[in-house]
Structure 1
Amino acid sequence: MTETNGRRRVVVTGTGVVTPIGTTVPEFWDSMKQSKCGVSELGGFPLEDLKILIAAQIKNFDHKARLKHFSRDKIIMHADRYSWFAGAAADEAVKQSGLEMPVADPYRTACIIGSGAGGLTTYEEAYRNLFIHNKRATHPLTLLRIIGSSAAAHVGIEYGIKGPTFATCSACSTATHAIGLALEYIRRGVVDVAIAGASESVINYGTMKAWQALHVLSPEGCFPFDKKRNGTVLGEGAGILVIEELEHARKRGANILAEIVGYGSTSDARDMVNPGVEGPSEAMRLALLDAELEPEKIDYLNAHGTATAINDENETNAIKQVYGDHARKLAISSTKSMHGHPLGAGGGIEAVACIKAMEENWVPPTIGLTDPDPACDLDYVPNKGREMEVTYTMSNSFAFGGLNAVLVFGPAPAA
């Protein structure tokens, strides 16, 4: 059966990541198994008067080595760092999917790769050159580098994608919204294949100053659900999925990794910074309704888990509202404790963690959780991952502005 309730079924055939704890999926997953922390001393640009001196940065990323084989899109070598991350993650996902490129049916393929901030590192470099170094002009590709849809365009050009190609932008829910939109396009027959996710690279002086001013960054580390949590830690990276209509994947003999069975999206419509409980609860409920699953069917939940005081408590309460008694039996973790908060890319990276958890029947931990907050009293898989049977997973993304998006993944359909 390739349809459910008149909708085409959608499966994942490729995954790709670039993160501070691994710049490929195998490296990323191995680091999680080792409970590795990607947070380190901030560097790579003038720190000047910054007070927050840590971040989860990707170090020693060689874009020339990772993207040297790109043949259709040569300009990506001169693109912004966020586009490099997107290109590398998409390349890994496409290779795993086994799709032949350029795509055979370009108008039946979509490329939806979002970014919460686009080319902010390019912005800062251009402004420093103009206003500090008194240069008379910026790099000729500055405009192309900064645009938030550049990553989607670069990837679309490389793979010959002529269907819907654009970016989503919804702060920390960006990647999840991108995957959700791609899911709906395939379900409704607009396209058969999509490359979807998000990429982010915003760690620079100006961004650190802006986040400092909001008082949501920790000077010590990312400790979700712990009493000692005092803010999040900025990260960077990309998370990309290749998704397909089930029959399309079967016909070409693809190795199916998982099925996307549910998607829910809501807005709090109440506050730009302080999250609510109702919006996240409803997004989870809608995702379960879309998946036609009772809450008890979810084995692992990848929490948004930013390590800010109000976010973690509210997410805990939202999970309790949706899951009832099952909330205390549910394995939950915030992988941001390891890879930091990569803003718009978070949902893509965390979707890959959910798929790998199902594939290997092992759930990643929340590291640094040594003294749980009594208000966060669920099973957050402290410090070490856990072997367990994992059939269905949920991934939460709850963004500034109260923008909520949730995905539910299930097992690969039987042949």
Structure 2
Amino acid sequence: MSVTTQADPVRAAQDTAPNAVAITGLGACSPGGIGVPALWEALSRGESHRPHITEFDVAGATVRCAGRVPGHAVEVNGWRVLDLAETAVRESIAGMDGSLLERTALVLGTTDPGVVPPRAGHLAGDLAAACAERVGLGGEAITVASASAAGATAIGVARDLIASGAASAVVAGGADAVTDMAFLGLNSLRTLGPEGCKPFSSQRRGIGLSEGAAVLRLEPLDVSRGGSESPKAVLAGCGLTNATGHLAAPGSDGIELSVRLALADAGLVPEDIDFVNTHGPGTRRGDDAEIAALRAVFGSRLGSIPINSVKGVLWHLQGGAGSVEALACVLSLAHQTITPTWGAEPVDPSYSDLDLVVGTTPRPVRGLRTAVTISCGLGGMNTALVIRRPL
């Protein structure tokens, strides 16, 4: 484990990252449970809710179950993704002053905004606007649809709103429900694996689909420091790329560029990074492309940087994947602990030189300060975020 040794690395990074913003609130619902504490417990214990699919026909599918949010009755309608988003957003804004809520913007990513039906005052697919109305947020509402990178991309868009002065607070993240179109479409592409996500394992055979939502509340650093609530973390840098080459076959170049852009945006170099949370879908092409990108960025030092993926527990939250992984980084920094990549063993021999956090026991890491999390979407959409401990 490599730890930055400069006198005050967090302050130094913030001084060279003029667009850094504070993460002041968190919200989540996932197959691990409802609420942020349940998410951390699930990632630590490797437990999640994956019942059999009954609401549509999965006969002949590679896998017949999916990750579900416990406590939310399974429904076959377009409002489910809105219900999940609302659950996460409400947790993230708990305790906020009403006057601030009226000025808070909402940016939500999802893979298929068209599943949200139209209603009075809203167009079909306007997930963010419909959710903002439900929870009482009065600022700008933006829906992002960039495949599996959507949740992380939404966080990047929100950061820019704060940094530009266009918003004083933004709630951002992603949400998705399990639908017949998504499930059966991925099954037809042979993307689903019989055992779900097994990131980096020599036995991986595809992904498992799941649902949920995760959001971060972002505010300017100076405002959060002067308020009653201390920042939970700092979003220091973002890098977004669209390296479209093939719809379903990922390439490493776009992933590499997104990480380099995020580091530059944060005013950091590869030596400043303490751990990497990967997209880690558990597909051979996906895992290989991501590791190749990381090798290009970090070189020989990659072998000393802890690497994990949360998909072994949660499976693939689709548009919510990137935001739940960003939230997991915030929790790892807060707990000074990296949760294991469940299902990774036996590890693919081509990764034997890497420090993959595997097994069934979370790894405490003293001095854990800076993380990179990566999200990748079909069509070459990639987002990397740099997240740091607060001062």
What amino acid is aligned across from residue 317 of structure 1 in structure 2?
A
Residue 117 and residue 102 in structure 1: after superposition, are their counterparts in 2 closer, same or farther (change >3 A)? farther
Distance 1:412 1:304 in 2: 24
Tell me by how many angstroms 1:167 deviates.
0.4
Residue 358 and residue 80 in structure 1: after superposition, are their counterparts in 2 closer, same or farther (change >3 A)? same
**Is 1:351 the counterpart of 2:362 in the alignment?**
no
Corresponding residue for residue 329 of structure 1? 304
Corresponding residue for residue 364 of structure 2? 387
Please say if residues 8 and 246 of structure 1, whose CA atoms lie closer than 8 Å, have aligned partners that are also in contact.
no
Tell me by how many angstroms 1:40 deviates.
4.4
1:144-293 pair list within 5 angstroms: 147-150=124-127, 152-204=128-180, 206-293=181-268
| Counterpart among 6, 11, 14 of residue 22 in structure 2 | 11
Residue 8 and residue 229 in structure 1: after superposition, are their counterparts in 2 closer, same or farther (change >3 A)? closer
Corresponding residue for residue 294 of structure 1? 269
SS in 1 for 2:155: helix
Please say if residues 180 and 263 of structure 1, whose CA atoms lie closer than 8 Å, have aligned partners that are also in contact.
yes
What amino acid is aligned across from residue 52 of structure 1 in structure 2?
V
**Is 1:21 the counterpart of 2:18 in the alignment?**
no
Corresponding residue for residue 41 of structure 2? 30
Tell me by how many angstroms 1:141 deviates.
5.2
Please say if residues 222 and 337 of structure 1, whose CA atoms lie closer than 8 Å, have aligned partners that are also in contact.
yes
Tell me by how many angstroms 1:3 deviates.
7.7
Tell me by how many angstroms 1:115 deviates.
1.0
What amino acid is aligned across from residue 27 of structure 1 in structure 2?
A
Corresponding residue for residue 90 of structure 1? 89
Tell me by how many angstroms 1:143 deviates.
11
SS in 2 for 1:14: strand
Corresponding residue for residue 41 of structure 1? 52
Deviates more, 1:267-276 or 1:235-244: 267-276
Please say if residues 119 and 202 of structure 1, whose CA atoms lie closer than 8 Å, have aligned partners that are also in contact.
no
SS in 1 for 2:100: coil
Residue 266 and residue 277 in structure 1: after superposition, are their counterparts in 2 closer, same or farther (change >3 A)? same
SS in 1 for 2:24: strand
Residue 79 and residue 268 in structure 1: after superposition, are their counterparts in 2 closer, same or farther (change >3 A)? closer
Residue 79 and residue 224 in structure 1: after superposition, are their counterparts in 2 closer, same or farther (change >3 A)? closer
What amino acid is aligned across from residue 271 of structure 1 in structure 2?
H
Alignment gaps of 5+ in structure 2: 1-10
Please say if residues 233 and 341 of structure 1, whose CA atoms lie closer than 8 Å, have aligned partners that are also in contact.
yes
Residue 159 and residue 245 in structure 1: after superposition, are their counterparts in 2 closer, same or farther (change >3 A)? farther
Please say if residues 19 and 237 of structure 2, whose CA atoms lie closer than 8 Å, have aligned partners that are also in contact.
no
Distance 1:237 1:46 in 2: 21
Please say if residues 33 and 70 of structure 2, whose CA atoms lie closer than 8 Å, have aligned partners that are also in contact.
no
What amino acid is aligned across from residue 92 of structure 2 in structure 1?
A
SS in 2 for 1:315: helix
Deviates more, 1:154-163 or 1:255-264: 154-163
Tell me by how many angstroms 1:59 deviates.
3.4
Tell me by how many angstroms 1:299 deviates.
1.4
Bigger radius of gyration, 1 or 2?
A: 1
Please say if residues 203 and 236 of structure 1, whose CA atoms lie closer than 8 Å, have aligned partners that are also in contact.
no
Residue 331 and residue 147 in structure 1: after superposition, are their counterparts in 2 closer, same or farther (change >3 A)? farther
Tell me by how many angstroms 1:271 deviates.
1.2
Corresponding residue for residue 398 of structure 1? 376
Distance 1:391 1:317 in 2: 24
Please say if residues 303 and 332 of structure 1, whose CA atoms lie closer than 8 Å, have aligned partners that are also in contact.
yes
What amino acid is aligned across from residue 103 of structure 1 in structure 2?
L
Please say if residues 38 and 340 of structure 1, whose CA atoms lie closer than 8 Å, have aligned partners that are also in contact.
no
SS in 2 for 1:167: strand
Alignment gaps of 5+ in structure 1: 64-77, 124-139
What amino acid is aligned across from residue 382 of structure 1 in structure 2?
V
Please say if residues 17 and 236 of structure 2, whose CA atoms lie closer than 8 Å, have aligned partners that are also in contact.
no
Q: In the comparison of the two structures, how many residue pairs are matched? A: 375
Tell me by how many angstroms 1:323 deviates.
0.9
Residue 141 and residue 8 in structure 1: after superposition, are their counterparts in 2 closer, same or farther (change >3 A)? closer
Tell me by how many angstroms 1:119 deviates.
5.7
Distance 2:46 2:387 in 1: 23
SS in 2 for 1:161: coil
TM-score by length of 1: 0.84
Tell me by how many angstroms 1:154 deviates.
2.9
Distance 1:403 1:6 in 2: 24
Tell me by how many angstroms 1:9 deviates.
3.7
TM-score by length of 2: 0.89
What amino acid is aligned across from residue 11 of structure 1 in structure 2?
A
